[in-house]
């Protein structure tokens, strides 16, 4: 089981940089294009996927509340209007990417836990799995309804 999770995380680490379309900075003077390009390049998808996988909905909330700050090197020598537009768009774009990947991690965790529960249910029988897994969570058994 640990090997399967490790292989899944390694695969996502290798594939994740290719999954979002990268905007090329053809027009370097346009702060919207440049901020979106920088945000997609500097996004740490693996971190937010792992956080979503490990901490579920809490990581999604943190990724939404976390306000990223652009690197000062991108703003050197730029005008006040450029800095304002660039910073605002960079924050929105990177926040969106971070939240999206935290949600993906949360969904991945849910899929893994659902699969584990189904394996227990099939292996041990529905009533015994319900008592073991759900009963351990809620400290009570469940009835069969018969």
Give the 3-state secondary structure of residue 143: coil
Please list, in sequence order, all residues whose beta carbon lies within 8 angstroms of the beta carbon of residue 132, skipping any fewer than 6 positions away: 120, 124
Distance CA 121, CA 14 (A): 33
Q: How many CB atoms lie within 10 A of CB 59?
A: 26
Q: Where are the domains of the chain?
A: 27-110
Distance CA 113, CA 97 (A): 25
Distance CA 56, CA 5 (A): 16
In tens, the pLDDT along 100-110 reads: 999 999 999 99
pLDDT for position 108: 93
In tens, the pLDDT along 118-140 reads: 887 777 666 655 666 666 665 55
Single out the residue of 102, 103, 134, 100 nearest to residue 118, CA to CA: 134
Across the chain, mean pLDDT equals 78
**Better pLDDT: 38 or 122:** 38
pLDDT for position 79: 84
Distance CA 108, CA 138 (A): 23
Whether the predicted pLDDT of 49 surpasses 90: yes
Q: What is the pTM of this model?
A: 0.64
CA torsion 137→143→144→145, rounded to 10°? -130
pLDDT for position 146: 46
Share of the chain above pLDDT 70, in %: 66
For range 90-112, the mean pLDDT:
93
pLDDT for position 66: 87
Whether the predicted pLDDT of 15 surpasses 60: no
Distance CA 128, CA 108 (A): 26
């Amino acid at each position: 089981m640990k090997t399967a999770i490790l292989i899944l995380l390694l695969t996502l680490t290798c594939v994740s940089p290719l999954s979002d379309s990268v905007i090329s900075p053809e027009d370097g003077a346009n702060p919207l294009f440049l901020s979106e390009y920088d945000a997609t390049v500097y996004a740490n998808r693996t971190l937010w996927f792992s956080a979503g996988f490990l901490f579920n909905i809490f990581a999604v909330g943190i990724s939404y509340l976390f306000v990223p700050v652009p690197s000062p090197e991108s703003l050197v020598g730029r005008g006040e209007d450029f800095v304002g537009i660039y910073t605002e768009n960079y924050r929105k774009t990177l926040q969106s990417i971070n939240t999206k990947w935290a949600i993906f991690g949360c969904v991945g965790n849910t899929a893994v836990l659902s699969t584990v529960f189904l394996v227990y249910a099939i292996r041990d029988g529905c009533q015994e799995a319900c008592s073991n897994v759900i009963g351990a969570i809620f400290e009570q058994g469940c009835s069969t309804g018969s």
